[in-house]
C-alpha cells in the first residue's frame, strides 16, 4: 500500500469521526483514543474506501492492446484515451484497422443515401464504472479514401430491453 497525503487526510477524518462518536458512548478519553486508533483502518477500508469507489467514476488508463480489445470489449474505455492521444490508429487503412480492432460492430446511418455508411465504423467501448452512470461510451471511426481520418468518442443513454 502506498501512503499518500490523500490517504492520510481521509484516515484522519475517519479517526476524528470515530473519536467523536465513541466519545458520546464513553467519556474516558484514553479508551476512546485507543478504540478509535484500532477501528480507523477497518472503518476506512471496509466502509469509507468502498463508498468512495462506488460514487467516483475513476478508472485506470491502459495502453492499446489489440487482443484485449477483442477479448474484453466491456473494458475498451480504459484503452481509448491512450489510443487517441498516441495516434495508434491514425493513417491506417480499413484492413489494418479491422486487423487491430476486429470487424466494425455497426455502421453509421447515412440519411441522404438511406443506407449505412461504410466509411463510418462504430465500436462500443463499454460502461464506465460508477454508481450513477447512465450512459455508455462508443467510438465512431471515419475513413476518407480508405484511410482512417477521424476518431470521435460519443456517449448515448443506456437502454434496457423491455420484456
Residues 140 and 152 sit within 8 Å (Cβ to Cβ): yes
pLDDT value of position 23: 85
- Burial call 51-77: b when 16+ CB within 10 Å, e when fewer: eeeeeeeeeeebebeeeebeeeeeebb
Q: Pick the range with the lowest mean pLDDT from 48-57, 89-98, 104-113, 138-147.
A: 48-57
Cβ count near 18 (within 10 Å): 21
pTM score, two decimals?
0.68
Mean pLDDT of the chain: 87
- Give the residue with greater pLDDT, 132 vs 101: 101
pLDDT value of position 6: 79
**Start and end residues for every CATH 3.30.1450 domain found in the chain:** 66-157
- Please check the confidence at residue 1 and state whether its pLDDT lies above 70: no
The rounded distance, in Å, linking the Cα atoms of 42 and 119 is 54
The rounded distance, in Å, linking the Cα atoms of 62 and 78 is 5
Q: In what order do the strands lie in the sheet with 135-144?
A: 106-110, 115-126, 135-144, 147-157
CATH no. for 66-157: 3.30.1450
What confidence tens digit (pLDDT) does each residue in 11-33 have? Answer: 888 888 888 888 888 888 888 88
Amino acid at each position: 500500500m502506498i501512503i499518500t497525503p490523500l490517504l492520510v487526510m481521509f484516515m484522519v477524518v475517519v479517526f476524528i469521526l470515530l473519536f467523536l462518536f465513541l466519545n458520546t458512548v464513553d467519556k474516558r478519553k484514553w479508551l476512546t483514543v485507543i478504540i478509535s486508533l484500532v477501528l480507523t483502518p477497518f472503518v476506512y477500508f471496509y466502509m469509507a474506501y468502498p463508498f468512495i469507489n462506488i460514487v467516483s467514476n475513476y478508472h485506470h488508463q491502459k495502453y492499446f492492446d489489440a487482443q484485449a480489445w477483442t477479448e474484453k470489449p466491456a473494458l475498451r474505455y480504459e484503452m481509448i484515451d491512450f489510443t487517441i492521444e498516441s495516434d495508434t490508429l491514425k493513417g491506417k487503412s480499413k484492413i489494418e484497422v479491422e486487423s487491430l480492432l476486429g470487424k466494425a460492430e455497426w455502421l453509421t446511418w447515412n440519411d441522404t443515401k438511406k443506407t449505412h455508411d461504410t466509411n463510418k465504423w462504430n465500436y462500443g467501448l463499454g460502461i464506465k464504472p460508477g454508481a450513477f452512470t447512465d450512459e455508455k461510451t462508443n467510438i465512431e471511426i471515419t475513413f476518407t479514401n480508405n484511410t482512417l481520418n477521424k476518431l470521435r468518442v460519443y456517449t448515448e443513454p443506456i437502454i434496457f430491453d423491455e420484456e
